[in-house]
Chain A
Amino acid sequence: MAIDRDLVLHLATLARLDLGPEEVEGLTADLARILGYVDELAEVGGADAPGDPARPSNLRSDRPAPGIAAEVALAAAPRTVLGGFAVPGYVDE
């Protein structure tokens, strides 16, 4: 698998990371090396990816219960407006 600068920039867009040019260069080299090693999984056979049967499921009953109050949740937010989390306008001005 060839890892190049364009692929890393595409991944950074998907991951919402604004990387500087130097970071892109370094991370391209890092990913190329790591994925080169990961390629040894090519020897893993089988067609399906089975779930792990040992994984437990401990779902609580589907009944409403008190949660964290809105004002408590908002207390940690960097910016709030009108009782909600403030975000920039969706459409660029």
Chain B
Amino acid sequence: MSPPFSRISALAEDVRAGRTTAEALTRSTLDAIDRHASLGAYLHVARDAALAAARGVDARRAAGEPLGPLAGVPVAVKDAFATVDAPTTAGSKILTRDGQANTGWRSPYDATAVARLRAADAVVVGKTNLDELAMGSSGENSAFGPTRHPLDPERIPGGSSSGSAVAVACDSVPLALGSDTGGSIRQPAGLCGVVGLKPTYGRISRYGLIAYASSLDTVGTFSRDVRSAADALAVLAGSDPHDSTSLRDRPDDYAAACDRDPRGLRVGVPREYFGDGLDVDVRESVERAIARLASAGCEVAPIDLPHTRWGVATYYVLATAEASSNLARLDGVRFGLRVEEARGGIDGLYGRTRAAGFGREVKRRILLGTFVLSSGYYDAYYGRAQRARAAISAEFAGAFAAVDVIAAPISPMPAFRLGEKLEDPLAMYLADVYTLPASLAGLPAISVPADPVPARSDRPALPTGLQLIAPRLEEARLLTVAAACETRARP
């Protein structure tokens, strides 16, 4: 699967210079989407709207008007973002009129991240599949069918931004929008062999992203290369009056950061991320990627992050608590599904609509969140998890006094088989162990392809990735190290 797409800023330059057209790029993308339809990466292909937008970009060029930094670049959007020209379902029946994806909620506004992409003259080609309401780590929880791994359709691509990862991995688009609450960009990026960037919490506005766990939800991207991630971040980052948690801090020059010399940067390797449960082949790939950073001139040293062991429990208390509150708005009154019977009043409407509209994993998390917030259990679960979160953040802050970035695995194993963990939610949660701590601390982190794990009797050769984590607001440093790793990985 050699990438036909170059860096996204170079593609845009080709459009501006007239070497290609936005329409040609969009048509080629729509063809690729059709070719890979069996992977289930898209819930909605915005064929007409995309072609109209592309022709608009080409017409403005023909009229001599200046074009934006992503002129004509085809972009796929995780279906958790509101879009005016395509239905939004978040992978859930509850946002549809009748349980079908094409009757999804028609938003009267674009999410800020989508609006910024459009303002940069990118072309939104469709909405990608996801675990329902962004809850899941395998891409199997969508109400509209699973997303499949591009190298082995009997395997999972990871989740929850499963369709966005697959859309980039099978080269239907050079850029896709995702969201990462506990690893939902980094993990599928790692399992599919693409770059997944989760910036600092608040770096990109969450306005128009359907809320799962608001203190953790972070908008980010999938791309083929690190430099495209930098180009996209430059467009997406910045404060937004519609999101009071968006940061006012000035974005850095992310493109320049990719070309900075990584020599002398200190890379910490946490021992706790290489313990029991890490697949031996994944471990070797990650260790080789870290060795390449050393040969690029980084100073690699072991560190300790013992509170890592609290990550899974802390996340599944706090995220579900926030979800149980956020999802209360999905009640059959203002949008989507409505299941009404003659009797039962408004409580009957709520109860029946939500029972019919939510899938098993969402119900599980709503009940868990309701439990940890309920009278008598709040202090023992929610209060304790808040303290654990503060301890995890403080531990990262201490580690960053001694190192510039942290390098670790993303997922304990390569892509597993569809259905393998579906009946064991705890096993599924435990596979998030390496991505949750950076989410809880709100830190920027990136997934960069490492060497694939070799084929064995029970699995083909599969992608794996290296996770890099930087201090808050230090996306530029993250990109410097990620680009160095990528340069070394591709001789």
Contacts and interface: CB of A to CB of B under 8 A. Distances in A.
Interface of A: 1, 7-8, 11-12, 14-20, 23, 26-27, 30-31, 33-35, 37-38, 40-42, 44-46, 48-50, 52, 54-60, 68, 72-73, 75-79, 85, 87-93
Task: Please name the 8 residue pairs, one residue from A and one from B, whose CB atoms are nearest each other, closest first.
Answer: A78-B338, A18-B351, A49-B386, A16-B350, A18-B355, A76-B335, A60-B241, A38-B313
Interface of B: 97, 105-109, 202, 215, 239, 241, 243-248, 309-310, 312-314, 316-317, 324, 328, 331-338, 340, 343-352, 354-355, 358, 360, 363-364, 366-368, 370-371, 374, 377, 381, 383-391, 393, 425-426, 429, 442, 472
Contact of A37 (B106, B377, B384, B426): B426
A88 B341 CA distance: 9
Contacts, number: 168
Nearest to A37: B426
B334 A77 contact: yes
A15 B381 CA distance: 18
B388 A41 contact: yes
A88 B340 contact: yes
B363 A19 contact: yes
Given A31-B371, A60-B244, A37 B383 contact: no
Nearest to A43: B310
Contacts of B350: 16
Contacts of A41: 310, 313-314, 317, 381, 384-385, 388
A26 B361 CA distance: 11
13 contacts: A12-B367, A16-B354, A23-B360, A26-B360, A27-B367, A44-B388, A49-B386, A56-B247, A57-B244, A68-B109, A76-B334, A77-B335, A92-B343
B324 A15 contact: yes
A1 B390 CA distance: 24
Contacts of B371: 7, 11, 31, 35
A26 to B, nearest CB: 8
A68 B312 CA distance: 39
A72 B107 CA distance: 9
Contact of B367 (A1, A31, A77, A91): A31
B344 A92 contact: yes
A18 B352 contact: yes
Given A41-B381, A57-B244, A77-B334, 11 more contacts: A16-B350, A34-B429, A49-B390, A58-B248, A59-B244, A73-B334, A78-B337, A87-B346, A90-B345, A91-B345, A92-B343
Contacts of B241: 60
A37 B312 contact: yes
Contacts of B386: 49-50
A15 B367 contact: yes
A46 B394 CA distance: 14
A75 B313 contact: no
